[in-house]
Structure 1
Amino acid sequence: MNRTIKTFRSCVGAAALAALSVPALVPASTALAASPEDARHLSQAVEALRAIDTLKADFVQTDRSGQSVRGALTLKRPGRIRFQYEKSANMLIVGDGKALTLIDYDVRQVQRWPISNSPLGALLDPKRDVAKYGKVLSTGNPNVVSIEVRDRSHPEYGVITLIFQRKASAPGGLELTYWVALDSQNKRTTIALSNQRYGVPVTDNDFRWVDPRPRNRR
């Protein structure tokens, strides 16, 4: 196993959880103290994310040492997301709105994280209360919006910073271009998106996966 994939395996869980934290925005407590401009940016970001019905994009996941792994993201609201990593990683992450599942085909292992009691999954469930966790960070660029997301009652979830760029053709006029996750052990992971396609055909079959575990051990 090369160094890139070994490093990737050590941080993929945290990065996956960060991925589903994307839209847990617009905290009521922060919004009260925020400037009118910051409150407007928060509202715009939430509306842009909620306006996504289906999405396909390419991504590059990079750890703090600079090691990178590529893949393809597929999203269908409500409830479904898929991170298909490049063949060298031989791993897959699928979210069904209730749990996030990591499938590691090399070691025949399946791991699941519940997302019902955390900010995780807010992107996938339009009924979720998203009024708790976000804070606008200054970027100095009117075309770039940066939002820090954290649940202070659960520091184990870490911190996620979302970076949006203004784009007229994107839903809500804002496009999520990348996010940076810092887990509770201060491991930094960046996921950069490119080639975003909105409103593309996506079926439930896109979120199926093959269980690699021996049948008598499941």
Structure 2
Amino acid sequence: MRFRPALAAFASLALTAPAVAQPNVIAKVQQHLRGVQTMTADFVQTDRKGKALTGKVTLKQPGKIRFQYGDGVPILIVGDGRVLHFIDYQVRQVSKYPIGGSPLDILLNPKRDLSRIARVVPSAAPGVITILARDPQRPQFGSITLAFTENASAPGGIMLEGWVALDAQNNRTTVRLSNQRLNGPVADTVFLWDDPRPKKKAG
């Protein structure tokens, strides 16, 4: 799995640097998000304690996403267009959250007008564009900071490299992407999952 050194400083600066208005950059990000109908990528996910997990993420608009973790991790996250399912196969539990109440809503709802909720965050990493998105009318849903690099072959001329999500409980999750593939075929069956909860007996 390949990594981009420019993202090394991304997680720390993205949450502390002041936001500034740069409408041209926001427009490019909006064009990119609306132009990516599907994406597959490898990812490294790091929580606030520094624990890292790897896997593959698959996205399909509108609203579908799947985080498939590597061997030995009994967790699956699947968004079906409306709800994010957090499936824990070890304890046989499923938690559900509305996508609209998650920071990932920015990625999974490209029709949203970013100019109303996003600002550019100055980046100390050369060649990295970062934007901070937070809905001021729904602060309880947290925020997400997206990182991009210039890429002429991608929609908007930029490529999504990762993000930092901060939820309402101030839990920070950093996701870094590699081996991104855009707008290839992705079947809807990718977003199906096996329910680990015990079946209820009839009668």
Q: Structure 2 length as normaliser, TM-score?
A: 0.81
Change (3 A) 1:119 1:128: farther
User: Is 1:149–2:133 an aligned residue pair?
Assistant: yes
Tell me the equivalent position of 1:163.
Answer: 147
Distance 2:146 2:159 in 1: 10
Deviation sequence 1:96-134 (CA, Å, 0-9, x none): 121111111111101111134676534334544444310
Distance 2:156 2:112 in 1: 19
Q: 2:121 aligns with which of 125, 137, 147?
A: 137
The one-letter amino acid of 1:70's match is T
Tell me the equivalent position of 2:185.
Answer: 201
Please give the residue correspondences for 1:6-85 in structure 2 after superposition, counting only pairs within 5 Å. Answer: 34=21, 38-85=22-69
User: Is 1:211–2:187 an aligned residue pair?
Assistant: no
Taking only aligned residues, the RMSD between alpha carbons, in angstroms, comes to: 2.3
Question: Displacement, 1:215?
Answer: 1.2
Distance 1:88 1:112 in 2: 23
Distance 2:164 2:106 in 1: 17
SS in 1 for 2:170: coil
Q: Structure 1 length as normaliser, TM-score?
A: 0.76
Distance 2:50 2:124 in 1: 26
Deviation sequence 1:74-113 (CA, Å, 0-9, x none): 0111221111111222111111121111111111101111
Tell me the equivalent position of 2:82.
Answer: 98
Distance 1:190 1:46 in 2: 21
Question: For the Cα contact (< 8 Å) 1:80–1:94, is it kept in 2?
Answer: yes
The one-letter amino acid of 1:44's match is K
Aligned residues: 183
Question: For the Cα contact (< 8 Å) 2:106–2:133, is it kept in 1?
Answer: no
Distance 1:205 1:149 in 2: 30
The one-letter amino acid of 1:94's match is V
Task: Flag structure 2 segments of 5+ consecutive residues without an equivalent.
Answer: 1-18
Distance 2:105 2:116 in 1: 14
Deviation sequence 1:8-40 (CA, Å, 0-9, x none): xxxxxxxxxxxxxxxxxxxxxx9xx93xxx100
SS in 2 for 1:132: helix
Change (3 A) 1:193 1:117: closer
Question: For the Cα contact (< 8 Å) 1:50–1:123, is it kept in 2?
Answer: no
Tell me the equivalent position of 2:170.
Answer: 186
Distance 2:140 2:90 in 1: 28
Change (3 A) 1:41 1:53: same
Distance 1:69 1:117 in 2: 24
Question: Displacement, 1:183?
Answer: 2.7
Distance 1:175 1:208 in 2: 27
